[in-house]
Amino acid sequence: MSSRRELFREQTRTRKALHLTLVTTYPLPHTQYSEMIPSIVTLDDLFVV
């Protein structure tokens, strides 16, 4: 993920902050890679009754 973020930063020449956000239908299981994604949005977050 960090290499893709840096590639995007280089190609777009942006100097602004990049925030990695995952939008998913199910909660993300906690693994060594899930720590790299600070913001996770699930369907429960989008459709609150």
Indicate the burial class of 26 (C-beta count within 10 angstroms; 0-12, 13-18, 19 or more): exposed
Give this prediction's pTM: 0.58
pLDDT tens across the length of the chain (49 residues)? 678 888 999 999 999 998 888 888 887 788 887 788 888 888 888 887 6
Structure tokens at 13: 């020449």
Note the pLDDT of residue 1.
Answer: 65
Determine the Cα–Cα distance for residues 14 and 24; give it in Å rounded to an integer.
26
Task: Count the residues in the chain.
Answer: 49
